[in-house]
Amino acid sequence: MLAVSLKERRKMSNSALIAIAALFAAAAVPAGAEQWDVTKDKSLVVHRLAATDLRMTVVCDPEGAFSPPQNYLFVERRGQRVETGQLTVSEGDDTVNLPIIGAAAVPTGNVENWNTAMDMLFGGRGVNVAVGDVAAQLEAESLANVCTAR
């Protein structure tokens, strides 16, 4: 008969609990749901999201590290940074277009479209995004929108 110490039993019990918790965490996110990878660099908040052939990076300046505050959205299509074009974001009957110039979409020129697009992207509801011939349906978790432009 194999003897197992109390310490080893606790270790095995903790491992089982961790495995069960991981399963529940995975089940809490709908299948196919993308996850925003959020990091903070000084007072900038960087959001990254990858969906099949489309990747987005949204850099937000909620604390005004720059004056005036700066927000940017970068898009990669099939692994290549989009230098010029248009990002279309739609949810239900609402559609907004963000021009990409110099490899970035910025709120300058149409703050209302920017804020609507950010609300859609961070809203946690299904949104469609497209750049050129690449489109994706995103089902990412809801996040606080810290990219509101003024």
Contact 62, 146 (CB under 8 A): yes
Please check whether residue 83 lies inside any domain of the structure: yes
Distance from C-alpha of 116 to C-alpha of 94, rounded to nearest angstrom: 9
Domains contained in the chain, number? 1
In this structure, is residue 149 part of a structural domain? no
Report if residue 68 sits inside a domain. yes
Distance between CA 57 and CA 47 in Å, rounded?
A: 6
Per-residue tens of pLDDT for the chain, all 150 residues: 445 444 444 443 443 323 333 333 333 333 346 789 999 998 999 999 988 789 999 999 999 999 888 999 999 999 999 999 999 999 999 999 999 999 999 998 889 999 999 999 999 989 999 999 999 998 888 999 999 998
Residue 16 included in any domain: no
* Residue type (1 letter), 98: L
What residue numbers bound the domain in which 49 lies?
37-138
Decide if 98 is inside a domain. yes
In a domain, 106, yes or no: yes
55-89 burial code (b ≥16 CB/10 A, e <16): bbbbbbbeeeeeeebbbbbbbbbeeeebeebebbb
- Give a yes or no: residue 28 inside a domain: no
